[in-house]
Amino acid sequence: MNDYYMMLGIMDPLYALFGWLVRVLYDFFGNYGLAIIALTIIIRGALIPLNVSSQKSMLKMQALSGKQAELQRKYGDDKEKYNEALMQLQKENGAGGLSGCLLPVIQLFLIWPIYRIVSGPLVYLSQISKDAVQEMIDLASASDLITKTTTVVNHIGLIQALNNNAEFFKTCVDKGLISMSQMIDLHFLGLDLTLVPWNVIKSNLFHPGQYIGLLVFPIIVLAVNILQMQMTKFLKPGYKEEKEAKERAKQNPAKAGQLPENQAESTMKMMNWMMPLVMLYTTFILPLAMGLYWIVGGIMSIITQLITYYLFTKPYEQKKAEAELRKEQVFKRKAALAEAGAGEETNSRKSGKNKKK
């Protein structure tokens, strides 16, 4: 447990940096929701170069697919030598890098400081000391205004108590724990972004009017993630060729077993189903501000996918199609010349026989 809190202490400068940035954006826009949106755009915008690098690496891997197949035929079941040769091939051609693996790791890592900010705005936005927040939590717990499980890391319940109980708020102000200026507006489009949808639903199960508006965020999160996953599939390099190959295999029973689904494809299919559900679940159990981050982040990912597709993937596939067309034309010309040569040889033989007669 001490190691856990030590880790949190090590990451405090990162939380402070993100908190300061959100506070600057809040002061600029005067709106908490717009500050979260701007922060998301800044974060995802900073990751665009890594997205581009990852896409370039994928295209280079696609271009090496023929040579990769040759290595598979050459080394057969010797996976060790095949992997060594493949790594050497990727190194020589600048493909395979860490960008494809690094990007999702960074995105997952950045979720934690965002969560800390949206679940602890009194510390990171209002800049109230952690000791003062903890003292207010103790006071609210003693008055049964919040549950004793509320902590300084996630003090949404404390914010609700300060907003809804004037006497408790006055007590905290009198003790010097908080000032009027530190109570910032945490609403966006009429919704309190500190609310946790699931908590509101549990408390007002038979009063849907109290939570129906909160369901908009989870629904949009689900829709954006499904769209993002589908676009990732449709815009990836070689998607059309893979689809055509699978269709041919389905139509030809003799080839049905020649295109086994590899582990990467199986994992991707599972992710396409699981990730939207995971995101939907987290939007229900976390403050609405986190759902806003998911929505804007998903839209930014879709925009990035479109940019990289039209700048890199589409031109690459067009060049590849043109190269295939040239090969086909050369093959047809050779076939026509061979057919013409065979025709001339046949005619000369017939001519020779006629002369003999």
| 205-236 pLDDT tens trace | 888 887 888 899 999 999 999 898 888 878 77
**Which of 105-109, 124-128, 166-170, 220-224 comes out lowest in average pLDDT?**
105-109
pLDDT at 7: 43
**Better pLDDT: 46 or 207:** 46
125 versus 317: which is more confidently predicted?
A: 125
Q: What is the pLDDT of residue 256?
A: 46
- Relative orientation angle of helices 156-164 and 130-142, to the nearest 10 degrees: 70
If you compute the radius of gyration of the chain from its CA atoms, what whole number of angstroms results? 31
* Nearest-angstrom CA–CA distance, 13 and 319: 48
Q: What is the pLDDT of residue 40?
A: 93
pLDDT, residue 219, reads: 92
Token representation of residue 125: 């936005």
pTM above 0.85, yes or no: no
Task: Give residues with Cβ within 8 angstroms of 20, minimum separation 6.
Answer: none
Domain ranges across the chain:
2-125+184-327
pLDDT-based confidence at residue 65 (cuts at 50, 70, 90): low
pLDDT-based confidence at residue 2 (cuts at 50, 70, 90): very low
Please tell me the predicted confidence (pLDDT) of residue 12.
79
